[in-house]
Structure 1
Amino acid sequence: MRKTLTGFLSAVLALGLGTLSLTAEPLPYPHKVVTLVTHSSPGGGSDLLLRQLSKYLGKYIGATFVVENVHGGSGAKAMARVAAAPADGSVFYAATPTYIHTSLLSKPSVTYKDLEPLANLFADSEVIYTRADGPLTSLKDVIDRAKKERVRWGASNPTSLESQAAERLKRAAGVDATLVTHEGGGEIMLNVLNGTFDIGIGEIQEIRSQLDAGKIRLLATFNPQRIPEKPDVPTVKESGYDVTVVKFRGLAGPKGLPDNVTKLWDEAIKNVLADPDYKARYTEEVLVPNYIPHAQYQAFITHFADTTEAFLKETGAVK
């Protein structure tokens, strides 16, 4: 199942980045202001991504971009906000695996099926980290400690990919660590730094400041391969636990987006991903460009959801 999903992701990646080009002027857009909605709290992965992306989108789309944080229900409220908006290109949602997991596990009134996938931008690296001045120096240390005493691990909301990765790691390692969740990555990092959590699971951009300051230590990545920018960090699988996850980051809107809007975004996303200044920024954040155009994105999301649902049924999380 994991090999199938990883292979599908790689195939679409090869398709998507084949014809990048830059435009000289922003493309005319039917709205002066575009709202980018995220369920993430300030400082969370999606919040940081949207705020950074917004700085560059204006070079390629003739509009002003604003980020709106809609908390609650592990993404359910944000999905409802976007689904109720006009399908005219004025409002989009930061789509991540969370909106799939929330839909399958919580069964909200509005699910991922009520939104239209627009396009994908990145594949993200999920990492396991701890405080640099703590006693844990490897994933083996983490698991050994969890086998001897009661420990607490931190991850984002209960229906996130991070939480699912933690549960899968617990299962693979045969440990019963207590998983504590928060809506934002910032709270998790603070609890790791003060010793409340042994480890946190999240994206590198959420912990970048403390990582650069030498206060955070990376222990492993859930990626299928090592992170090129962090070659000394082993994968979870290399560490002896057969768990890999791939996190997508894209945009979705209300159902019924017009063709002129989706085609414009297809062109703009290719261009913004090729922008040298933005490329330097997202490379620093260990984001891998993974452009999936509108025509292929629905199939990708459906495949991801079907694969995720099969796993959740296998583990008894859903019936």
Structure 2
Amino acid sequence: MHSSADLQVPIHPSVRILTAFLLVLLAGCGGVKGGRNDSGTEYPARAVQFTVPFPPGGSTDLVGRAVARAVEKPLGQSVPVANKPGANGAVGGKEVLASAPDGYNIALLVKSLFAITPLATKDQTAIDLDKLKIVGTLTTEDYVLVVNASSPHASLEDLLKAPSVKYATTGVGTGAQLSQALLFKSAGTNATDVPFDGGAPAVTALLGAQVDALAAAPSEVMQHVKAGKLRPLATFNEKRSSYLPDVPTVKEKGHDVVVDQRRFVVAPPGIPDAVAKKLADSFTAARKDADYDKFLKDNFVERWEVSEDEARQHIKDARAQYAAQVEKFGLRLGK
């Protein structure tokens, strides 16, 4: 009698080859499907919280919600959006970056938080650009200077010659503040900034004639421009906007002020490489989504899709440029 251990069933060589092939194929599929976190669990296993640290209704909020919808399919999980405004994104951003680096808390941050806000406020706990993970770059927008349609200022020259100007900003240390502060200082205009916590309340104030002017993203004001409620006077780009081809740039009018806003998605430092890659690949796929593309065009938003290293360098270069201009004009952006 032979024991069961002594029995051997011959296996045809073709079966061995097929088995080996299937094992390799399954392993490869697992690698494409997603990354694994430090506990070895397949990522993502649940919803990924997406913090947009700005008020609802503003340009950054709109971009955030559009890309959150687009990224759900490639990520394979829901991506609920939470608005946590304050300090040009610093409040919500700090909260996310202090969370566990497991890929389940990400945030949408903006260029001005790193390139402009430090010129206005001294925060010992400020977010360090080099101590976070950029998992996706998204958009860039110019600022357009607008006035109420009932304003007596029909042109940029009219506004700059006014005895005094109250201009709305989306907060201290924002591109809306810097662009206008540099312009009015360059022109020698007696101007006072009125900060609001986000683009939506600033636009509302201008529509109500509580302020004289506002620099805002096109997505925040174009509907009112088309409706005849707001009048665009100039943009703060190097060249004229394709969305406002008849509106001159500030630079054309003799004032060397170029300011824009850029947005990108970040995760806490220390996030596992495989999880960061899954997020990055998912946002790359989301940027190709047809509905997301339509949103950008419908809301006058341009794409900014560069590598993590390129994004960091652009922001650092912009900060150096803005710092030099602030020093040149002796501006005080903070209170």
- TM-score with structure 1 setting the length: 0.82
* 2:202 corresponds to: 188
The 5-angstrom pairing of residues 1-319 of structure 1 reads 28=34, 29-100=43-114, 101-113=116-128, 114-145=131-162, 149-316=163-330, 317=332
| CA shift for structure 1 position 178 | 0.8
- Cα distance change on mapping 1:255 and 1:34 into 2, 3 Å: same
Aligned partner letter, 1:207: V
Identify if the C-alpha distance between structure 1 residues 306 and 261 changes in structure 2 by more than 3 Å, giving closer, same or farther: farther
Aligned 8 A contact 2:54 2:86 in 1:
no
CA 219–283 in structure 1, closer or farther in 2 if over 3 Å, else same: same
Q: Match of 1:16?
A: none
Aligned partners of 1:118 and 1:293 also within 8 Å: no
Q: Which runs of 5+ in 1 are unaligned?
A: 1-25
Are residues 312 and 185 of structure 1, via their aligned partners in 2, closer, same or farther at CA, if it must alter by over 3 Å?
same
Aligned-residue offset at 1:311: 4.0
- Give the deviation of 1:201 after TM superposition: 1.0
Alpha carbons of 1:115 and 1:27: their partners in 2 closer, same or farther (altered >3 Å)? Answer: same
If each structure's strand is expressed as a fraction of its own residues, which one has the higher value?
Answer: 1
Matched AA of 1:110: T
2: CA distance, partners of 1:150 / 1:247: 27
Aligned equivalents of 2:313 and 2:265: distance in 1? Answer: 14
CA–CA separation in structure 2 for the residues paired with 1:244 and 1:296: 19
Contact 1:84 1:254 in 2 (8 A): yes
Q: Which amino acid aligns with 1:123?
A: T
- Highest CA radius of gyration, 1 or 2? 2
C-alpha distance 118-267 of structure 1, shift in aligned 2 (>3 A): closer
TM-score by length of 2: 0.79
For 2:25, the equivalent position in structure 1 comes to: none
Distance 2:301 2:149 in 1: 23
Q: Does the aligned pair in 2 maintain the 1:36–1:66 contact within 8 Å?
A: yes
- Kindly report the root-mean-square deviation, in angstroms, between the aligned alpha carbons of the 2 structures: 2.3
Conservation of the 8 A alpha-carbon contact between 1:129 and 1:216: yes
Name the CA distance, whole Å, in 2 between partners of 1:130 and 1:41.
22
Classify 1:81/1:169 alpha carbon distance in 2 versus 1 (closer, same or farther; 3 Å).
Answer: same
1:179 counterpart SS class:
strand
Structure 2 match to 1:7 = none
Distance 1:209 1:27, change over 3 A: farther
Tell me by how many angstroms 1:255 deviates.
1.2
Q: Percent identity?
A: 27
| Greater CA drift, 235-244 or 107-116 | 107-116
Does the Cα contact within 8 Å between 1:31 and 1:90 map onto a contact in 2? no
Q: Secondary structure at the match of 2:178?
A: helix
How many aligned positions are there? 290
Q: Deviations over 1:5-43 (max 9, x none)?
A: xxxxxxxxxxxxxxxxxxxxx964424222222331111
Letter in 1 for 2:53: H
